[in-house]
Amino acid sequence: DTAVSQTPKYLVTQMGNDKSIKCEQNLGHDTMYWYKQDSKKFLKIMFSYNNKELIINETVPNRFSPKSPDKAHLNLHINSLELGDSAVYFCASSQEGSIEAFFGQGTRLTVV
Amino acid sequence: GNSVTQMEGPVTLSEEAFLTINCTYTATGYPSLFWYVQYPGEGLQLLLKATKADDKGSNKGFEATYRKETTSFHLEKGSVQVSDSAVYFCALSESPGGYNKLIFGAGTRLAVHP
């Protein structure tokens, strides 16, 4: 069983479109994250949710809107996609109070 | 703010060579430190961690020791294999408002040749 799963694995879309990436974890964790890995492999946190509440928002453009319908899911919706949004997006989860995060396989987003 | 600096890659080694990937950090307080590995086409996997000064994390033959005096967490392996070829990320955990987030280094690509 995959602990943290993301869909889709690959996403190719045109500039200006709106797209969503879904993430689910079956570890029973309270906290979920979105990280962005750019073309140079640099990883940076975007958002974190704890029990469906936003707790970290790292100066991400308003076009990015995370949604957590329950604590096992954290989806990422992106409006008006731009070329610079092309990256690999990783979802992760951790148990509140734990320092260890578990990552999904990543979603490679390509905006053309 | 907190930050992590890793040696630039790529690092190219022959099989059975000794590996060191340097990592230093800047942080207030005493964060936990991690090495994550990303194999080609895959997501991030935790390789090892250390939560306090002088702790040694180890896994799959890799080791790293939390050195407070030099603010370092260098990754080492005595004999690398072709299957170790991957990108290695050093990271620290900071806790704004009590919730953890990871600060990553830029990653170091390792290529091991037979």
- At residue A59, the pLDDT reads 77
* Closest chain B residue to A43, measured at CA: B104
Q: What pLDDT shows up at residue B96?
A: 64
Q: For residues A35 and A60, is the Cβ–Cβ distance under 8 A?
A: no
pLDDT score at B29: 81
Q: β-strand B62-65 against B56-59: which pairing, if any?
A: antiparallel
Question: Which of A41, A99, A102 has the CB atom closest to B107's CB atom?
Answer: A41
> Which tens digits make up the pLDDT trace of B28-55?
888 999 999 999 888 899 999 999 999 9
Residues written for chain A: 112
In this predicted model, what pLDDT tens digit does every residue of B79-101 receive, in sequence order?
999 999 999 999 999 876 667 78
CA-closest candidate to residue A90, choices B29, B75, B92, B101: B101
Preferred mutation among A5, A10, A36, A100 to probe B, highest tally of B CBs within 10 A: A100
Measured in degrees and rounded to the nearest 5, phi and psi for residue A65 equal -130, 110
Q: Mean per-residue pLDDT for A41-53?
A: 88
User: Of A42, A99, A104, which is closest to B51 when you measure between CB atoms?
Assistant: A99
**Torsion angle (degrees, nearest 10) of CA A36, A44, A79, A49:** 100
CB atoms A45 and B101 under 8 Å: yes
- A90 shares contact with chain B (CB less than 8 Å): yes
Maximum alpha-carbon separation in chain B:
48
Q: Which of A27-36, A47-56, B43-52 has the lowest mean pLDDT?
A: A47-56
Q: Note whether B100 contacts A101, CB cutoff 8 Å.
A: yes
- What average pLDDT is seen over chain B? 93
pLDDT value, residue A39: 86
Tell me if B66 sits within 8 A of B54, measured CB to CB: yes
Contact call for B100 and A40, based on CB within 8 A: no
Q: Which of B44, B100, B106 is nearest residue A103 as measured by Cβ atoms? A: B44
Sequence-ordered list of residues with C-beta below 8 angstroms from that of A26, at least 6 positions apart, any chain: A1, A2, A3, A5, A72
Mind listing the pLDDT tens digit for each residue in B11-26? 999 999 999 999 999 9
Compute the count of residue pairs across chains A and B with CB atoms less than 8 Å apart: 57
- Contact, A109 vs A21, CB < 8 A? yes
The stretch B53-81 carries a mean pLDDT of: 96
Q: What is the pLDDT of residue A98?
A: 78
Q: What pLDDT was estimated at residue B97?
A: 64
pLDDT of A10 strictly over 70? yes
Instruction: Give me the percent of chain B exceeding a pLDDT of 70.
Output: 97
A27 vs A101: CA distance, rounded Å: 11
CB distance A101–B46 less than 8 Å? yes
Q: Chain B contacts of A50, Cβ < 8 Å?
A: 99
Query: What confidence score (pLDDT) does residue B94 get?
Result: 82
Overall average pLDDT of the A71-89 stretch? 95
